Structure 1
Amino acid sequence: MAETADGSYDADDGLVGEGPESDEEMPLADHIEEMVYRLGIVLVVMAIISGIVFPFGERIINFLWYSVLPGGDIARPRVYHPLGLILARLKVATLAGFVVGLPVFVYQTYLFMRPGLYPAERRYYLASVPASLVLGVFGVLFAYFLVLPAIFTYFLTYSQDAAVIAFGLTDTFDLIVLMMGLFAAVFQIPLFVMLAIMMGLTTRAWLAAKRLYFWGAFLGIAFLFSPDPTGMAPILVAGTMIGLFEATLFALRWVKRSP
């Protein structure tokens, strides 16, 4: 890395020119080809991580299952499909690949957009790569410690007086994995809001003025991707998305007022 005039170091030295002047017009086909290439890298990384985790899938399944479900015989998984266990192992491996793939995706989008970014924007984008992984892990932990126990406690309260409860491995683990993956993605909201503002794509005032539109979008996404027919999970997901969005706007307002 080369030292700049102010004594700092350019982390992107030698990769591109000094700002958007390095941005060159490219045919649409070339842009699409590069985008597909970048997405392919993300998928390859996800596949590698999934392959590494897959042999340990059964241990992870048992750990997750008996951590978030109530104890006793009622928590024992019921397998109604001959490939149920293998598919569950594949899903937990895919979840690991997805969480690790989040920062890889952010970095690949940075490489795709790099020629058109100013040096300061590149630094913001590069700093977001480790932040994405940290936020993704926090999202998984949030789902593990708070959301999933609340959902399954609600399920028991909702159903125990009307029916004998049995947890099928496939459907139940689909919900566990989906919630963890969804919250890993949901916790990226502060990162993308901060990144958009720092790069000058939008402003805090504009986001605050349009907050009801964002709330509506969050509700739609939550109910679209949640498999819970009782509505408990979508409400928790939407509430978390709105809370993260508003907390980010509040933090930005507070920082702006600070000396």
Structure 2
Amino acid sequence: MADEPDEGVDVGEAEKRRESASDETAPGSESADSTSNASDGSEPPREAKTDGEGGVVDDLPEHEREEPSYPDPDDDVGGIEAPPDDQEMPLADHIEEMIMRLARVFLVGAAATAIGLLGASPAIEYIWLNIFPGPTGEVPPPHVYHPLELWLTRIKVAGLLGIMAALPMFVYECYLFMRPGLYPNERKYYLAAVPTSVVLAGMGMLFSFFLVLPVLFRYFTFYAEGSADIAYALGETFNLIITLTGFLAIVFQIPLFIMLAIMMGVTTRRWLAQKRLYFWAAFFGLSFMFTVDPTMMAPVIVAIVMILLFEGTLLLLKWTGRE
């Protein structure tokens, strides 16, 4: 049987007492929190202390403090996966591997240079007969002006052969050294770009030997003919040949540099076409800086070749629709 309210107490007054009691023990009050914490056996929350300047002082015991967590450097950052073959190696191992690979390159270059010394004299004769006027013209004989000039010229020619043989080896060893840190698409890009660079360098050297040098020495011969006896020094002549050939091997990299810049988003074909006059001026400046010639014939030829390569690459990009 339910308890009935005391007849001597007003029902409305009893309701007011219940509401006041519920307000005093409402959730969020200190008494309610302390009671609930005591009832479940947990300690009351610790108040944070300040240092008087707004900073919070951690006064927890040392065994209760949590160690700060830092990101693991081996973990992927930003959702980017590491290259599939990338492995952590000590710096000493990297240096040792690099030295061993460079040693292989130098070994190949030295072997090619040694072999080139055996055939340096026929090579000098072949180059000399092909860069001067043709069969109808008289080929001036080379002149030697100091005892070591012939031997130094042989070493230069053999050294050029050694560089040509060591260049593909250098490219291959560089690829093997960088391969673990490259993504698959970067490996394809490297394998496509570097052999292209080697081929362009070979084209530049052949262009120099079969076209630029014969025209240049015909001009020299015509320029001096009738006013002086022609006597070309062997060492100085081959210095010019090797310098011009090497510079044209670099000049023929212009199409590759333009393609790489556009593919990487560094520039656009339209921007290069708008600034072509600035590039032409830079080409003339570089050619006069690296191909010194009192007659100004060699720098002019090199500058024209650079401009033709630049404009030809832009024309090819426009034809293929690559902006």
TM-score range, shorter chain: 0.7 to 0.9
Q: 1:76 aligns with which of 141, 154, 159?
A: 141
The answer to which structure, 1 or 2, has the higher relative contact order (CA under 8 A, 6+ apart) is 1
Q: How many angstroms apart in 1 are the aligned matches of 2:266 and 2:172? A: 18
Tell me whether 1:183 sits opposite 2:248 in the alignment.
Answer: yes
- Cα distance change, pair 161–179 in 1 and its aligned pair in 2 (3 A): same
Between the aligned partners of 1:27 and 1:207, the Cα distance in structure 2 is 44
Please state how far the C-alpha of 1:143 moved relative to its aligned partner.
1.1
The answer on 1:87 being equivalent to 2:162 is no
8 Å contact kept, 1:57–1:89: yes
Whether the aligned pair in 1 keeps the contact of 2:116 and 2:158 (CA below 8 Å) is: yes
Kindly tell me: are residues 158 and 125 of structure 1, through their superposed partners in 2, closer, same or farther at Cα, counting changes over 3 Å? Answer: same
Residues matched between the structures, number: 242
TM-score (norm 1): 0.75
Q: How does 1:104-253 map to 2 (within 5 A)?
A: 104-107=169-172, 110=175, 117-253=182-318
2:121 to 51, 58, 66: 58
Instruction: Give the corresponding residue for 1:256.
Output: 321
Taking every aligned residue pair, what percent have the same amino acid on both sides? 56
Range moving further from structure 2, 78-87 or 210-219: 210-219
Judge conservation of contact 2:140–2:230 (CA < 8 Å) in 1: no
Q: Look up the equivalent residue of 2:221 and give its one-letter code.
A: L
For 1:4, the equivalent position in structure 2 comes to none
Once the two structures are superposed, residues 108-127 of structure 1 have per-residue CA deviations (whole angstroms, 9 ceiling, x without a partner) of 66566656654333212212
Unaligned runs of 5+ in 1: 1-16
CA RMSD of aligned residues (A): 3.5
CA deviation profile, 1:70-108 (whole Å, cap 9, x unmatched): 377652110002111111111112222333444455556
CA 1:164–1:43: 2 relative to 1, 3 Å:
same
Please tell me whether the aligned partners of residues 77 and 168 of structure 1 are also in contact (alpha carbons under 8 angstroms). yes
Equivalent-residue separation in structure 1 for 2:301 and 2:309 (angstroms): 12
The verdict on how the C-alpha distance between 1:245 and 1:47 changes in structure 2, with shifts beyond 3 A counting, is farther
CA separation of 1:157/1:73 partners in 2, compared to 1, >3 Å: closer, same or farther? closer
Q: Give the partner amino acid of 1:203.
A: T
Deviates more, 1:102-111 or 1:170-179: 102-111
TM-score of the superposed pair, with normalisation by structure 2: 0.62
Contact kept? 1:50, 1:93, Cα under 8 Å: yes
2:128 is aligned with what amino acid?
A: W
List per-residue Cα deviations over 1:29-71 (Å, max 9, x = no partner).
9999988887776555433432332221111100000111137
Residue 98 of structure 1 contacts residue 181 of structure 1 at CA under 8 Å; is this kept in 2? no
Deviates more, 1:20-29 or 1:73-82: 20-29
1-side partners of 2:227 and 2:278: how far apart? 39
**Greater helix proportion:** 1
Deviates more, 1:41-50 or 1:119-128: 41-50
Give 1:199 shift: 4.0
1:212–1:101: structure 2 CA closer, same or farther, 3 Å change rule?
A: farther
Counterpart-to-counterpart distance in 1, 2:284 and 2:93 = 36
Instruction: From the CA coordinates, give the structure whose radius of gyration is larger.
Output: 2
Residues 197-235 of structure 1, C-alpha deviation per residue, up to 9 Å, x if partnerless?
A: 334444333433443343333222212221322111111
Equivalent-residue separation in structure 1 for 2:200 and 2:250 (angstroms)? 9
Cα deviation for residue 236 of structure 1 reads 0.9
Which stretches in structure 2 are left out of the alignment for 5+ residues? Answer: 1-79
Task: Provide the residue aligned with 1:46 in structure 2.
Answer: 109
| Superposition deviation, residue 25 in structure 1 | 11
What amino acid does structure 1 have at the position aligned with 2:277?
L
